[in-house]
Amino acid sequence: MADMVHRPISSPLLRTPPGPWSNAIEVLPGARYLYTCGLVGVRQDGTMEEGIAAQAVRIFENIHILLREASMDMSHVVKIISYLVDVADQPAYAKARAPYLGTARPAMTMLGISQLSHPTLRLEVEVIAAKHD
């Protein structure tokens, strides 16, 4: 895309990422940024989705809403930070996330944590996006 202001950075001295991410992303000058809060699997009415897959879908639907409001899409996402209450949920999370990523390969970090703000929440996700207008 003509408005892209970031590029993946790698090296033959590093392992190629085994998943849908980049080792690093360089954001070039002239970009505006969007930082999300930690998003969880909560619907607009405040009710919570059940289970990791439904929560992941709700989170990425909400990310799409925020990106659209900023005139961005997933191709502008340069970083995804994911917090999982149970890292054994990672395969289900990755499967639910995959359709939303498309060909985007942002830098990603995933952390296993002991709990989130509500006992039924399994996942929280933050994104950073950059776009040149």
The single residue listed with the structure tokens 């000058």 is 29
**Banded pLDDT at 24 (limits 50, 70, 90):** confident
- Counting every residue, how long is the chain? 133
What pLDDT, on a 0 to 100 scale, did the predictor assign at position 113? 97
Overall pTM surpassing 0.95 (yes/no): no
Mean pLDDT for the stretch of residues 72-90? 96
Tell me the CB-side half-sphere exposure of residue 7, using CA atoms within 13 A: 5
Residues of 79-116 as b/e, b for ≥16 C-beta within 10 angstroms?
bbbbbbbeeebbebbeebbeebbeebbbbbebeeeeeb
| pLDDT single digits (tens) 100-112 | 998 999 999 999 9
129: which strand partners? 34, 77
Q: What's the CA gap between 41 and 61, in Å, rounded?
A: 10
